[in-house]
């Protein structure tokens, strides 16, 4: 089982729709994505046990409708990794597949049975000085 620290500030560098029939195209988005704050439910590291799937809870005002791509006025989004064994209703969480990752960048893809679009985001680590 691999363990990697993703805690810190990350910036979205690209978002693509992986379900387009004519191949992968950039998904047009308005403005800057800003920075994404990733916080952990426990500790500084996360063990990828379930095929590198992240179970994420989002802390924002328009809960319970989680949408990874919504960003608040401060251009930040707080994501909390959760243990699915501790959650009664898994529908309250957003599920992401980690496609690729290292210390400086990682690629995540949303997993949903109800959405038509399947978005994949590449994020890079930002220095928090």
Question: pLDDT value at position 42?
Answer: 46
Neighbours of 12 (CB within 10 A): 20
* 3-state secondary structure (DSSP) of residue 94: strand
pLDDT of residue 99: 75
Give CA torsion, residues 74, 83, 63, 96, to 10 deg. Answer: 70
pTM score, whole prediction: 0.54
φ and ψ at residue 91, rounded to 5 degrees: -65, -15
Tens digit of pLDDT for each residue in 83-115? 666 666 655 566 677 777 776 777 777 665 444
Handedness of CA 81, 43, 89, 54 (dihedral sign): positive
Peptide bond into 64 cis (omega under 30): yes
Query: Model confidence over 24-80: pLDDT tens digits?
Result: 444 444 344 555 555 544 444 555 555 566 666 655 444 444 444 444 555 555 566
Count of CB atoms situated within 10 Å of the CB of 107: 17
């Amino acid at each position: 089982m691999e363990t990697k620290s993703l805690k810190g500030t990350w910036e979205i560098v690209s978002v693509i729709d992986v379900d387009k029939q004519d191949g992968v195209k950039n998904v047009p988005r308005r403005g800057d994505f800003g920075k994404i704050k990733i916080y952990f439910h426990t500790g500084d590291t996360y063990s990828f046990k379930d095929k590198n799937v992240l179970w994420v809870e989002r802390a924002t005002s328009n809960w319970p409708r989680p949408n990874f791509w919504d960003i608040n006025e401060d251009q930040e989004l707080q994501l909390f990794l959760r243990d699915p064994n501790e959650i009664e209703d898994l529908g309250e969480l957003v599920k992401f597949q980690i496609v690729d990752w290292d210390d400086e960048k990682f690629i995540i893809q949303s997993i949903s049975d109800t959405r038509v679009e399947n978005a994949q985001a590449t994020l890079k680590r930002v220095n928090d000085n």
